[in-house]
Amino acid sequence: MSAEASAGSVASELLLAAAGPPDGLSEDKGGGGGGLAGSKYVKLNVGGSLHYTTVQTLSKEDSLLSRMCTGAAEVTIDPEGWVVLDRSGRHFSLILNFLRDGYVPLPESQRELEEVLAEAQYYRVQGLIQHCFAALKKLREGFQGSCRIPMITSAKEEQRMIASCRKPVVKLQNNRGNNKYSYTSNSDDNLLKNIELFDKLGLRFNGRVLFVKDVLGDEICCWSFYGEGRKIAEVCCTSIVYATEKKQTKVEFPEARIFEETLNILIYENGRGSGPGSLALLESGGAGSLPGAGQSEEEGAGVGGGDRRVRRIHVRRHIMHDERGHGLQTVYKD
């Protein structure tokens, strides 16, 4: 008789659970209460990601999850007893592990850190929010001394970037795939030396000069120097060698001249190059007025008129042999 009474009691509890507000428990029901307070274990379906935890874990912090347990927040439970949360379940395990242990290893990626922070803010887990903020601050401070080099993707983007930049600009145009002749024996090494010098100058003058890479232009290796939105100087490191059998492309590495032009462009830092004294310094040539060995200099009128000229420094064309008839050939050597 007592067994029949026990069976009837269990049946009545199941009917009450189906008719009344679902409590999301899997076992060990307590005696009523709002939300999930009558449950010991909770099944959570977060955006299709299934998690199994306890009410004690969810109640460790004053959060949205603890309010769900007390009935202060609305709870949606499916017919199978899963508490349904309409959020991405990608980082929900981090939320649960933080509630369990009070600490959790965070992702190293800034993007993933921001995703975890967004979830922690939604669930109002203050301890994890502070943990994420501290990790993001540390990550940003670690990258504070880094140097970011923009990559040109279009001519309009380049013009807009240079015109709007308040700092001097140094651009390296590097397009090895545009070459139609074979390279001389030292050209590959010199091309890499130019790229390496660009990286070193970018680190040395980081914050003072904007360094830009352009891989879309026609030049194989060419340096351009801008101040106040206009081109001040140009150093082209490419020439054509007329070898005995076929033409070859030669890439030079005029390191001293490139470094001098970078120093010259610093007079335009913080708008200091707009005065007449700076133009006089540029026209007189300053430290980099004399072309180096194996180079020639050409001056052309810039956009601003006769007083605003662009110093163009090109490596000398090496002609060792050409294909003209006998008696008309000319041989030049450095």
Whole-number pLDDT of residue 171? 94
Query: pLDDT tens-digit profile of 50-76?
Result: 999 999 999 999 999 999 888 888 888
Q: Structure tokens of 325?
A: 């008839």
Q: How far apart are CA 213 and CA 150, in angstroms?
A: 6
Whole-number pLDDT of residue 185? 87
Percentage of residues in the chain with pLDDT exceeding 90? Answer: 38
Domain boundaries, the chain: 41-142, 151-270
- Under a CB-based contact definition with an 8 Å cutoff, are residues 99 and 59 in contact? no
Query: pLDDT tens-digit profile of 106-149?
Result: 998 889 999 999 999 999 999 999 999 999 988 877 655 567 88
Whole-number pLDDT of residue 146? 66
Query: pLDDT tens-digit profile of 228-265?
Result: 888 999 999 998 888 667 888 899 999 999 999 999 99
Whole-number pLDDT of residue 40? 86
Residue 3 has pLDDT above 50, yes or no: no
CATH number of 41-142: 3.30.710.10
Residue 194 has pLDDT above 90, yes or no: yes
Whole-number pLDDT of residue 200? 92
Whole-number pLDDT of residue 315? 59
Where does residue 44 rank: exposed (0-12), middle (13-18), buried (19+ CB within 10 A)?
buried
Query: pLDDT tens-digit profile of 272-286?
Result: 555 444 444 444 444
Which CATH architecture is the domain 151-270 placed in? 3-Layer(aba) Sandwich (3.40)
> Would 41-142 and 151-270 be classified into the same CATH topology?
no
Q: How many CB atoms lie within 10 A of CB 204?
A: 12
Whole-number pLDDT of residue 158? 87
